[in-house]
A and B are shown apart, each in its own frame.
Chain A
Amino acid sequence: MAERITLAHGGGGVQMQELIRRELLPACDETLGRALEDAALLPGAERIVLTTDSYVVRPAVFPGGDLGRLAVCGTVNDLAMRGAQPAYLSLGLIVEEGTEIELLRTVMRSVQKTCVETGVKLVTGDFKVVEKHSGDGIFANTTGVGFLRSRSAPSVSRARPGDKVLLNGPLGQHGVAILAARGELTLQATVESDCAPLSDLVEALLEAGGDGVHTLHDPTRGGLAAALNEIAQTAGVAVEVSERNFPRDPGVEGACDLLGLDRLQVANEGKLVALVAPEVAEPVLEAMRGHASGRQAALIGEALEGPAGRVTLRTVLGTRRIVDSPSGELLPRIC
């Protein structure tokens, strides 16, 4: 039977990682392109960082954001995770025949506003229309270029045993907001997406922690579970986080309980997890808390010697369990 792409291949979990490694990475540059980082450094252009991302969120407008804001924030954040100051952006739009112009206007207003907010300049773009049913509303792609703030870029491979794990706020707001906005579930809670640019927060945090900031990663699709598993696997460490220290959002927690979702696996669009040397953990946490998108920042755990790649959670009951990368396709098209 011919193997085919399934929605699980786009879920941000194990199947997607497998597919990327097997089918996509071989075409990437051997030394530069295979690290699975949020953004790439470019030797020869020492300070330049490059990334790209596509956005297919449904619905295109949701509580707390829309496709336009997401398309700018997502790419700006990927640059920020490598310690880059985001500078330039391209925008490609694929629009389905029949889409209301007003939706395009809404998206573009958000793009413009978010560019101003983050100080990034939209400098080139592309626009295509496809026949009805060849797309769904508007799909967007943004490519971002940024400049490294300092010599040593944070990287998922730099996490070390003993590093403290910091998180800037409660988990799961974006995923739950999207689910609620789809109206497929009867949710009383009005949860807003956390969709937000993180470049200023990263600037503050790097200023406080400098070279001690080893890893920054944004837990988007697949949530914190996928992000920590990627870090643990790439850096060859174990990670243990403690539920008791997690920043809270009762609205999201209630919704997750009701729907049987694991908040660790639900998507975020304005969160970052930082692994920092223990001696800078306090100042970095302070710096995060002094920032609008880090008010609820908390120290949630620690990197350990091993076993390499294992992520565990200490529950509020004091028991321990595995934190697995999500599998399957629970929430398609969340970003």
Chain B
Amino acid sequence: MPEEVALAKEVRALARQIARAVKKPVQFMEVCGTHAHAVGRLGLRQLLPEKLTLLSGPGCPVCVTPTGEIDWALELAATPEITVATFGDMIRVPGSRQSLADLRAQGANIQVVYSPMQALELAVEHSDRQWVFIGVGFETTAPTVAATIQTAARQGADNFSVLCCHKLIPPAMRALLAAGEVRIDGFLAPGHVSAILGLEPYQAVADEYHVPCVVAGFEAHDILRALLALARQVREKRAAVENEYERTVRPEGNPLARAVMEEVFEIVDARWRGLGVLPQSGYALREKYARFDAVRRYGLRPSNAGEHPLCHCGEVLRGVRRPLDCPAFADACTPEHPLGPCMVSSEGACAASYRYERIGK
């Protein structure tokens, strides 16, 4: 396995460079569930110097979906004439009272799909029923959902709609900095989201708050290289936007995908779990596509349903508390009996810690 040996060597060399670059204690934050899991799976924290803390932020789309929106999905699924189509990740997330998995076991019509297009195809095939796709995700998933809505409009698929819970990452980054509750010396910017957005949205973050942002891929060397870039910027007191994932992320992003989103969605204020309502931080369907909007079609009422009283997901999502420091972690809260979404979503920070990092616990 010569390539692997070489890779391991490169990774260790990067770790040594990071250790040399970090003089004073620093805190960096990733805002991407895939990063959180890669860090756990690869055991990367073991390679970082003690002075460098890598926090998880609001980067798991299922986790930031507030309980009220989960309850909407449950309400729809409990309606006999509706079939709810969703990514598998949402199935076991607890709402105020139960989860989609509980409802499905009671006979509700819930279909796990791998793409929104598959949901639309099912709706066309079974046109005697109403189909609602649960649109959860950041700028990575939103374009395919937008394209699906365009297709539905073209085909006149009147039995299809979307519960749009899509959210935007840069406003959440700014909100965390504005609140100042947790010190963030740099952001590990998400690879997939950046492939759509490009680098421009991070510039505002870097300029306004003087915090460096470095886009990172998902291999060990990608992540460490980005952390090294952040450490060097901090040492040199710079706050720039850098791209350490050039093989996938172009500076201008993917304008085509953005145009599709722009055509279908408008940017609105949105409620996040743990962060409250953030201005201009979510997508809603434009008037033109109102008939595909499940919220309007079924007259769903806003709800302020909160988290489970024992759950600290909000603090975990703000980077204020590490999953291992939640009293319920691996005790009252496990992947089998989750109190919050961070423990069940495959991208959740608590799930990553539970799966990979319980060595000392």
Interface residues of A (CB under 8 A from B): 1-2, 4-8, 14-15, 18, 184-185, 244, 248, 260, 262, 312, 315-322, 324, 327-330
A to B CB contacts below 8 Å, 28 in the list = A1-B98, A4-B102, A5-B105, A8-B92, A8-B101, A184-B118, A185-B114, A244-B1, A244-B4, A248-B1, A312-B359, A315-B43, A316-B1, A316-B7, A317-B11, A317-B12, A317-B220, A318-B12, A319-B43, A319-B46, A320-B43, A320-B359, A321-B359, A322-B359, A324-B355, A327-B335, A328-B88, A328-B91
Residue B315 is within 8 A (CB to CB) of chain A in the complex? no
- Choice from A6, A318, A320 contacting B101 with Cβ under 8 Å: A6
Residue B300 is within 8 A (CB to CB) of chain A in the complex? no
> Do residues B104 and A6 form an inter-chain contact, with CB atoms below 8 A?
yes
Residue B358 is within 8 A (CB to CB) of chain A in the complex? yes
Q: Tell me which residues from 1 to 15 in chain B have a Cβ below 8 Å from any Cβ of chain A.
A: 1, 4, 7-8, 11-12
> Do residues A320 and B105 form an inter-chain contact, with CB atoms below 8 A?
no
Report the Cα distance A14→B344, complex, angstroms. 13
> Do residues A322 and B356 form an inter-chain contact, with CB atoms below 8 A?
yes
Instruction: Please name all residues of chain B whose beta carbon is closer than 8 Å to the beta carbon of A260 when the two chains form the complex.
Output: 34, 346
> Do residues A328 and B344 form an inter-chain contact, with CB atoms below 8 A?
yes
Residue B133 is within 8 A (CB to CB) of chain A in the complex? no
Given contacts A14-B335, A14-B336, 8 further A-B contacts (CB under 8 A): A6-B105, A244-B1, A316-B1, A316-B7, A318-B8, A321-B356, A327-B335, A328-B344
Question: Do A324 and B354 form a contact, CB below 8 Å, given A4-B102, A6-B102, A319-B47?
Answer: yes
Q: How large is the interface on B (under 10, 10 to 19, 20 to 34, 35 or more residues)?
A: 35 or more
Instruction: Please name all residues of chain A whose beta carbon is closer than 8 Å to the beta carbon of B43 when the two chains form the complex.
Output: 315, 317, 319-321
Report the Cα distance A318→B220, complex, angstroms. 12
Report the Cα distance A324→B336, complex, angstroms. 12
> Do residues B41 and A317 form an inter-chain contact, with CB atoms below 8 A?
no
Report the Cα distance A8→B42, complex, angstroms. 26
Question: Do A1 and B102 form a contact, CB below 8 Å, given A18-B336, A321-B43, A324-B354?
Answer: yes
> Do residues A320 and B114 form an inter-chain contact, with CB atoms below 8 A?
no
> Do residues A317 and B101 form an inter-chain contact, with CB atoms below 8 A?
no
Instruction: Please name all residues of chain B whose beta carbon is closer than 8 Å to the beta carbon of A328 when the two chains form the complex.
Output: 88, 91-92, 335, 344
Closest Cβ of chain A to B110, distance in Å, is 11
Q: Which residue of B lies closest to A332 (CB)?
A: B112
**Contact flags B33-65 to A (C-beta < 8 A → 1, else 0):** 010000011111011000000000000000000
Report the Cα distance A5→B105, complex, angstroms. 6
Residue B262 is within 8 A (CB to CB) of chain A in the complex? no
> Do residues B105 and A321 form an inter-chain contact, with CB atoms below 8 A?
no
Q: Which residue of B lies closest to A15 (CB)?
A: B336
Instruction: Please name all residues of chain B whose beta carbon is closer than 8 Å to the beta carbon of A15 when the two chains form the complex.
Output: 336
Closest Cβ of chain B to A301, distance in Å, is 16
Instruction: Please name all residues of chain A whose beta carbon is closer than 8 Å to the beta carbon of B155 when the two chains form the complex.
Output: none
**Contact flags B325-359 to A (C-beta < 8 A → 1, else 0):** 00000000011100000001010000000111111
Centre residue among A5, A14, A244, A321 by max chain B CB count within 10 A? A321
Centre residue among B98, B106, B335, B344 by max chain A CB count within 10 A? B335
Instruction: Please name all residues of chain B whose beta carbon is closer than 8 Å to the beta carbon of A316 when the two chains form the complex.
Output: 1, 4, 7-8
Q: Which residue of B lies closest to A4 (CB)?
A: B105
Report the Cα distance A53→B106, complex, angstroms. 27
Q: Which residue of B lies closest to A248 (CB)?
A: B1
> Do residues B8 and A317 form an inter-chain contact, with CB atoms below 8 A?
yes
Question: Do A319 and B44 form a contact, CB below 8 Å, given A329-B91, A330-B88?
Answer: yes
Q: Tell me which residues from 88 to 112 in chain B have a Cβ below 8 Å from any Cβ of chain A.
A: 88, 91-92, 98, 101-102, 104-106
Question: Do A184 and B106 form a contact, CB below 8 Å, given A317-B220, A328-B335?
Answer: no
> Do residues B41 and A262 form an inter-chain contact, with CB atoms below 8 A?
yes
**Contact flags B136-179 to A (C-beta < 8 A → 1, else 0):** 00000000000000000000000000000000000000000000
Give me the 8 closest cross-chain CB pairs, A-B, nearest first: A319-B43, A4-B105, A327-B335, A321-B356, A319-B46, A321-B43, A6-B105, A324-B355
Instruction: Please name all residues of chain B whose beta carbon is closer than 8 Å to the beta carbon of A317 when the two chains form the complex.
Output: 8, 11-12, 42-44, 47, 220
Q: Which residue of A lies closest to B218 (CB)?
A: A257
Closest Cβ of chain B to A185, distance in Å, is 6
Instruction: Please name all residues of chain B whose beta carbon is closer than 8 Å to the beta carbon of A7 when the two chains form the complex.
Output: 101
Instruction: Please name all residues of chain A whose beta carbon is closer than 8 Å to the beta carbon of B101 when the two chains form the complex.
Output: 6-8
Closest Cβ of chain B to A61, distance in Å, is 21
Instruction: Please name all residues of chain A whose beta carbon is closer than 8 Å to the beta carbon of B1 when the two chains form the complex.
Output: 244, 248, 316
Report the Cα distance A315→B335, complex, angstroms. 23
Instruction: Please name all residues of chain B whose beta carbon is closer than 8 Å to the beta carbon of A315 when the two chains form the complex.
Output: 41-43
Q: Which residue of B lies closest to A320 (CB)?
A: B43
> Do residues B356 and A327 form an inter-chain contact, with CB atoms below 8 A?
no
Q: Which residue of B lies closest to A310 (CB)?
A: B359
Report the Cα distance A248→B4, complex, angstroms. 12
Closest Cβ of chain B to A328, distance in Å, is 6
Instruction: Please name all residues of chain A whose beta carbon is closer than 8 Å to the beta carbon of B44 when the two chains form the complex.
Output: 317, 319
Report the Cα distance A244→B9, complex, angstroms. 13
Closest Cβ of chain B to A172, distance in Å, is 15
**Contact flags B62-99 to A (C-beta < 8 A → 1, else 0):** 00000000000000000000000000100110000010
